[in-house]
């Protein structure tokens, strides 16, 4: 993927003292094929009109070459998602992304600094947060953080969420250039993504979506995402072996609409960060593109739901109630279900629950079984006080879907009780990260700012800094394991997602009372050592995670998966391995190798920077005396 001529270009820019270097890219002519993989997909981003609920909706979508593979299992009329991709471990996956978007007729218009100032003039109208009620200063004093102002809504790129493959946010895929720019595919342009899925990749549910800083929230709100299964057949055959033959996708999405025309039923995608909390607009949870769709099963039969939470700025619960009891507390009335895997990694043993909480990016593989015929509902319920948008009381508690259970005796029944089933496609216990492998513990602090003289407003930070594409924030090396303490000082949640590298959750906690916020109990209820790629950092709380960096190196990212937060700054660069070019090392912070690599005046600058950053890191604990996950958990809690 790299060639010599761009390297020469970079050498030239080095000589000229330029800080931005060009690199080899995978941009292609849109006439060229991109089909050299074992599995190949054509993905086209476009603006089109579709039917959604009873509405005619014009938004940004992926389309594919044929209509046949649009939509998702059981809901072919819900054409809001791109094609469902399937790849086997060990295969190469090539995706040609063609950008045909032209949204000139639908907006939204990228906000300007002046827009933020205008909104601040009417805090009671447009700004719902109670601490933004002060009068506003002169707009000429507004400081503009340009990289974190949302924009270029018709440009795009692609993230395969959760896959352990080449880093692919910066150009080209797999780049080790610390100055590499974002892959940015403008209208009329095409890019050929080439991924290699490892032989030992966990089999499960993943997904893909755009991830261009500044336009990712608008594009997901519009409808640009799709499912991606890593499927070697093991899970399917194990489920079949247990007599479980009905599997359905269950995709939760929280589109933001405006301008509902009562006659034509026309709706448009909401303007980004512009009145998005106004109750007159539609802000529902849809499942598979529908309001409260119905799934069918029979008494005794097991229904396997593959749940993706593709929400942009909300978390939601998954609670199963008998119809009519859905307003009751889940601890009393919620029915049992089984989680058999999360974030693409199957559990060995099913975990029985009566509530699950999902935030944007997370997946749950769920088994449902009912004793009695009748109607049951799956419910988003009880995140009051912690939901990002609940300053105006919504999204409301809502029924996500209905399950109609018939008395069909011919329906297949499981061969053994669900509690006794074993699934093998996940990780073996022996693959868990060991305490002695941790080389360093670092803090990652999510915070928000309400500086009324700054655009964007509000501000979103990681470790006190908004995202900068020109800075490397964290560094790690392949083969080493690191501990990150994710700290959330806000009253709402921030779901943390790290690209390419999944992690194990070691500890969670919050200063909030689980009596006041009972849903927190389930947010923080996790199996020690749980593998995830996205974790909810509890409000006023923390999550401690362990990551072991593997084969895939280069410049990548981690961020809050509430994409509106990410677009406005809550993201950091992460460099795995050695940057290609020493001239950029002055930008690298937070690493031990910096001092050795820098000379002259750079040594002084970096030395000061390092000293400041190092002093913020908590000392790693001594884990040498522990062996099991429970020991570890006790240790981190003490
Ligand atoms: Cu966030």
83 vs 211, which has greater pLDDT? 211
446 C-alpha to ligand 1 centroid (Å): 7
**Banded model confidence at residue 109, pLDDT cuts 50, 70, 90:** confident
**What is the rounded average pLDDT of the residues 288-309?**
94
Tell me what pLDDT residue 453 has.
78
448 C-alpha to ligand 1 centroid (Å): 9
Share of the chain above pLDDT 70, in %: 74
406 C-alpha to ligand 1 centroid (Å): 42
315 C-alpha to ligand 1 centroid (Å): 11
Residue 31 has pLDDT above 70, yes or no: yes
> Do 147 and 465 form a contact (C-beta atoms < 8 A)?
no
Q: What is the mean pLDDT of the chain?
A: 81
Residue 297 has pLDDT above 60, yes or no: yes
CA distance 30 to 37: 17
**Banded model confidence at residue 111, pLDDT cuts 50, 70, 90:** confident
**What is the rounded average pLDDT of the residues 343-352?**
96
Predicted confidence (pLDDT) per residue in 215-272, tens digit: 998 888 888 999 999 999 999 999 999 999 999 999 998 876 666 666 666 666 654 4
Tell me what pLDDT residue 96 has.
96
235 C-alpha to ligand 1 centroid (Å): 33
Residue 390 has pLDDT above 50, yes or no: no
565 C-alpha to ligand 1 centroid (Å): 5
The set of residues, in sequence order, having a beta carbon less than 8 Å from that of 324 and lying 6+ positions away, is none
CA distance 551 to 566: 26
Predicted confidence (pLDDT) per residue in 414-435, tens digit: 999 999 999 999 998 899 999 9
494 C-alpha to ligand 1 centroid (Å): 4
70 C-alpha to ligand 1 centroid (Å): 31
CA distance 433 to 505: 11
314 C-alpha to ligand 1 centroid (Å): 10
467 C-alpha to ligand 1 centroid (Å): 13
Containing 425, the helix (H) or strand (E) segment is: none
The burial of 536, by beta-carbon neighbours within 10 Å (0-12 exposed, 13-18 middle, 19 or more buried), is given as buried
382 C-alpha to ligand 1 centroid (Å): 20
69 C-alpha to ligand 1 centroid (Å): 33
487 C-alpha to ligand 1 centroid (Å): 12
**Banded model confidence at residue 593, pLDDT cuts 50, 70, 90:** very low
Tell me what pLDDT residue 608 has.
63
273 C-alpha to ligand 1 centroid (Å): 14
112 C-alpha to ligand 1 centroid (Å): 21
> Do 534 and 497 form a contact (C-beta atoms < 8 A)?
yes
Residue 73 has pLDDT above 70, yes or no: no
Looking up tokens 């003490």, which residue turns up?
638
311 C-alpha to ligand 1 centroid (Å): 12
* Lowest pLDDT segment from 349-353, 403-407, 525-529: 525-529
**Banded model confidence at residue 611, pLDDT cuts 50, 70, 90:** low
For 140, what's the count of Cα atoms within 13 Å in the CB-facing half-sphere? 0
357 C-alpha to ligand 1 centroid (Å): 16
3-state SS string for 190-252: EEEEEEECCCCCCCEEEEEECCCCCCHHHHHHHCCCEEEEECCCHHHHHHHHCCCCEEEEEEE
Tell me what pLDDT residue 49 has.
74
**Of 370, 378, 401, the residue nearest 297 (C-alpha):** 370
Residue 600 has pLDDT above 90, yes or no: no
129 C-alpha to ligand 1 centroid (Å): 15
Predicted confidence (pLDDT) per residue in 119-145, tens digit: 666 654 444 444 444 555 667 777 889
**What is the rounded average pLDDT of the residues 532-544?**
95
* Lowest pLDDT segment from 298-307, 525-534, 624-633: 624-633
Cα radius of gyration (the chain): 24
**Banded model confidence at residue 2, pLDDT cuts 50, 70, 90:** very low
Report the 10 Å Cβ neighbour count for 329.
11
* Lowest pLDDT segment from 45-49, 291-295, 338-342: 45-49
Residue 3 has pLDDT above 70, yes or no: no
561 C-alpha to ligand 1 centroid (Å): 6
CA distance 564 to 449: 14
**Banded model confidence at residue 319, pLDDT cuts 50, 70, 90:** very high
Tell me what pLDDT residue 517 has.
86
562 C-alpha to ligand 1 centroid (Å): 5
3-state DSSP assignment of residue 148? helix
367 C-alpha to ligand 1 centroid (Å): 30
Share of the chain above pLDDT 90, in %: 55
205 vs 578, which has greater pLDDT? 205
628 C-alpha to ligand 1 centroid (Å): 32
Tell me what pLDDT residue 62 has.
87
Residue 587 has pLDDT above 90, yes or no: no
Residue 86 has pLDDT above 60, yes or no: yes
Tell me what pLDDT residue 85 has.
93
501 C-alpha to ligand 1 centroid (Å): 20
376 C-alpha to ligand 1 centroid (Å): 32
571 C-alpha to ligand 1 centroid (Å): 9
525 C-alpha to ligand 1 centroid (Å): 21
498 C-alpha to ligand 1 centroid (Å): 13
Cα torsion through 30, 178, 494, 453, rounded to 10: -100
533 C-alpha to ligand 1 centroid (Å): 15
214 C-alpha to ligand 1 centroid (Å): 14
477 C-alpha to ligand 1 centroid (Å): 27
Write down the pTM of the prediction.
Answer: 0.83
Tell me what pLDDT residue 486 has.
98
Residue 594 has pLDDT above 70, yes or no: no
570 C-alpha to ligand 1 centroid (Å): 7
Tell me what pLDDT residue 232 has.
93
Tell me what pLDDT residue 4 has.
45
Residue 162 has pLDDT above 70, yes or no: yes
* Lowest pLDDT segment from 39-43, 60-64, 66-70, 521-525: 66-70
CA distance 87 to 39: 7
For 552, what's the count of Cα atoms within 13 Å in the CB-facing half-sphere? 22
* Lowest pLDDT segment from 202-206, 455-459, 570-574, 585-589: 585-589
**Banded model confidence at residue 582, pLDDT cuts 50, 70, 90:** very low
519 C-alpha to ligand 1 centroid (Å): 18
**Banded model confidence at residue 108, pLDDT cuts 50, 70, 90:** confident
């Amino acid at each position: 993927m790299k060639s010599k001529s761009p390297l020469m270009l970079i050498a030239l820019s080095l000589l000229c003292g330029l800080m931005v270097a060009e690199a080899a890219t995978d941009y292609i002519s849109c006439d060229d094929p991109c089909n050299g993989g074992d599995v190949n997909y054509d993905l086209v981003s476009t603006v089109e009109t579709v039917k959604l609920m009873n509405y005619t909706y014009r938004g940004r979508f992926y389309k594919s070459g044929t209509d046949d593979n649009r939509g998702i299992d059981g809901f072919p009329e819900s054409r809001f998602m791109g094609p469902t991709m399937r790849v086997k471990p060990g295969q190469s996956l090539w995706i040609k992304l063609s950008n045909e978007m032209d949204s000139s007729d639908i907006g939204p218009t990228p906000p300007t600094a002046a827009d933020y100032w205008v909104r601040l003039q009417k805090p009671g109208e447009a700004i719902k947060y109670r601490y933004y009620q002060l009068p506003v200063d002169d707009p000429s004093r507004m400081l503009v953080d340009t990289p974190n102002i949302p924009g270029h809504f018709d440009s795009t790129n692609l993230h395969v969420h959760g896959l352990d493959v080449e880093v692919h946010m910066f150009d080209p895929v797999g780049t080790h250039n610390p100055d590499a720019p974002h892959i940015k595919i403008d209208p009329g342009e095409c890019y050929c993504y080439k991924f290699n899925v490892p032989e030992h990749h966990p089999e499960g549910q993943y997904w893909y979506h755009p991830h261009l800083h500044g336009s990712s929230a608008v594009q997901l709100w519009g409808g640009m995402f799709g499912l991606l299964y890593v499927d070697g057949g093991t899970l399917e055959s194990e489920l079949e072996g247990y007599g479980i033959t009905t599997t359905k996708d269950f995709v939760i999405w929280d589109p933001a609409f405006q301008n509902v025309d009562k006659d034509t039923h026309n709706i448009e995608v909401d303007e980004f960060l512009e009145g998005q909390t106004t109750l007159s607009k539609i802000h529902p949870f849809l499942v598979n593109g529908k309001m409260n769709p119905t799934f069918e099963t029979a008494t005794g039969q097991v229904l396997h739901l593959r749940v993706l939470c593709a929400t942009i700025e909300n978390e939601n619960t998954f609670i199963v109630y008998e119809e009519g009891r859905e307003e009751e507390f889940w601890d009393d009335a919620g029915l049992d279900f089984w989680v058999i895997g999360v974030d693409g990694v199957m559990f060995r043993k099913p975990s029985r629950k009566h509530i699950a909480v999902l935030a944007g990016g997370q997946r749950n593989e769920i088994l449902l079984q009912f004793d009695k015929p009748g109607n049951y509902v799956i419910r988003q319920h009880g995140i009051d006080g912690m939901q990002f948008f609940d300053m105006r009381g919504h999204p409301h508690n809502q029924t996500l879907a209905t399950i109609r259970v018939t008395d069909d005796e011919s329906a297949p029944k499981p061969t053994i009780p669900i509690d006794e089933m074993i699934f093998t496609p996940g990780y073996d216990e022996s693959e868990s990260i060991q305490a002695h492998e941790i080389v360093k513990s670092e803090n990652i602090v999510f915070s928000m700012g309400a500086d009324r003289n700054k655009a964007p407003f509000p501000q979103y930070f990681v470790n006190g800094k908004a995202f900068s594409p020109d800075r490397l924030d964290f560094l790690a090396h392949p083969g080493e394991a690191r501990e990150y303490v994710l700290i959330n000082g806000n009253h709402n949640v921030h779901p943390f997602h790290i690209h390419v590298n999944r992690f194990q959750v070691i500890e969670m906690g919050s200063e909030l009372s689980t009596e006041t916020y009972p849903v927190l109990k389930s947010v923080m209820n996790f199996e020690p050592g749980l593998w995830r790629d996205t974790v909810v950092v509890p409000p006023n709380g923390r999550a401690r995670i362990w990551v072991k960096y593997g084969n895939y190196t280069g410049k990548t990212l981690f961020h809050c998966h509430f994409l509106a937060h990410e677009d406005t700054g809550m993201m950091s660069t992460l460099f795995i391995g050695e940057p290609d070019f020493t001239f950029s090392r002055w930008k690298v912070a937070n690493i031990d190798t910096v001092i050795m690599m820098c000379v002259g005046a750079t040594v002084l600058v970096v030395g000061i920077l390092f000293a400041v950053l190092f002093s913020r890191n908590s000392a790693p604990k001594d884990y040498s005396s522990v062996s099991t996950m429970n020991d570890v958990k006790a240790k981190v809690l003490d």
